Amino acid sequence: MRFRRMKTAALAVLGAGLLATAGCGGSDGGAAATPSATASSAASGVQGTVKVLAAASLTGSFTQLGKDFEAANPGSKVTFSFAGSSQLAQQITSG
């Protein structure tokens, strides 16, 4: 059970990182995808709760990303735990 929680937390952090970088990139003169369109296509069919552990400095941007993700994925719920790196590491190891 402990392994499953750690795996879930790791996937949530990875997923949040992917969402955060979905809107990054330079303009090459071509049509660029909007962050919400990119997040929507990357996470289609996601349902249930996604828990994201992130640095406290990312509270504003990740909260907005979570709202966008929920809007693009009906039936999904994003919860956050914002803290310092050492506190986040402790949360992950303790489940």
d(CA 84, CA 82): 7
| Rg value, the chain, Cα | 14
pLDDT per position as a tens digit, 11-62: 555 455 544 444 444 444 444 444 454 454 454 578 899 999 999 999 999 9
Task: Yes or no: say if 47 and 73 are a contact pair by the CB < 8 Å rule.
Answer: yes
pLDDT in the model for residue 25: 40
Task: Single out the residue of 65, 34, 33 nearest to residue 50, CA to CA.
Answer: 65
- Say which residues have a Cβ less than 8 Å from residue 17's Cβ, sequence separation at least 6: none
pLDDT range class, residue 8, cuts 50, 70, 90: low
Q: Does pLDDT of 90 surpass 90?
A: yes
Q: Specify the pTM.
A: 0.52
Backbone angles phi, psi at 30, to 5 degrees: -90, 175
pLDDT range class, residue 3, cuts 50, 70, 90: very low
- Mean pLDDT value of segment 79-84: 95
DSSP state letter for 33: P
Max Cα-Cα span within the chain: 49
